[in-house]
Amino acid sequence: MARAPSGPRRALSAASLALVLVVVFASALIRLAGEELGGALVLVRGVHRVAASAAALTILAAGWYGWRAGQRATAALVVALMLALSALGAATGTEPPPLAAAGNLLGGLLLAALLAWWLGREPRRGGEPLLHVVAALAALQALLGAWSTIFEKDETWTFALLGHATLGLATAGLLGWIALRARAWGLLAIACAAPLAGMVSGLLDAPTGPALAHALSAALLVCAAAWAHARLT
């Protein structure tokens, strides 16, 4: 069987990543500002559902192209994760219990990271070993951030939150150093934005605007780390 060209798969992966990030942002908006949205909450939920449905279709298409191109493990993993998240969302509805909410949050970040990694994937040529550390720190950051958001949202300073803040600075510093060396200015901007938004959110007692900015920049940071790991290692 002739292998499928990589162009359509990369375009579909990019579209899927953009849609998943819309879902992640809409979820954060509902979680952090649901009561403040009033009548607009229905619109935000609608955007969430439409983006999630569109992402499911583009991920299935990307998976099909990836399977034909011989990238079967990655294609199967991305599609399986998307199906699992779809099933979890359908089963738990608009008011999920804490464990389901954490699963949705972490699963969405993992799906975005996998799509970013797939988008940046190139033949291995030996590169920046520090990116293995950055990828591990980004994963731990996502876990601590989700734990603080879902299970300790009413607490001010906890062990998980302190660890999240400390490791966040380390992750951003390492990624920023790598971005400077690679002259990847967009990557550097994302590395600076996530901890800055987090600090502003903490200093202002997590008002909606900075908290949303932190959620979005953190998701972008995870995706940037995954993309850089695929591209530069």
Distance between CA atoms of 229 and 223, rounded to whole angstroms?
10
Q: Phi and psi dihedrals of 183, rounded to 5?
A: 55, 40
180: part of which helix (H) or strand (E)? helix 159-182
Contact by Cβ (8 Å): 44, 26: yes
Distance between CA atoms of 21 and 169, rounded to whole angstroms?
23
Distance between CA atoms of 225 and 221, rounded to whole angstroms?
6
The model's pTM: 0.86
Average pLDDT, the chain: 84
Nearest to 20 by CA among 136, 134, 104, 141: 104
The residue ranges of every structural domain in the chain are 1-121, 124-233
pLDDT in tens, 62-106: 999 999 988 999 999 999 999 999 999 888 887 888 888 889 999
Predicted confidence (pLDDT) at residue 129 exceeds the cutoff of 80: no
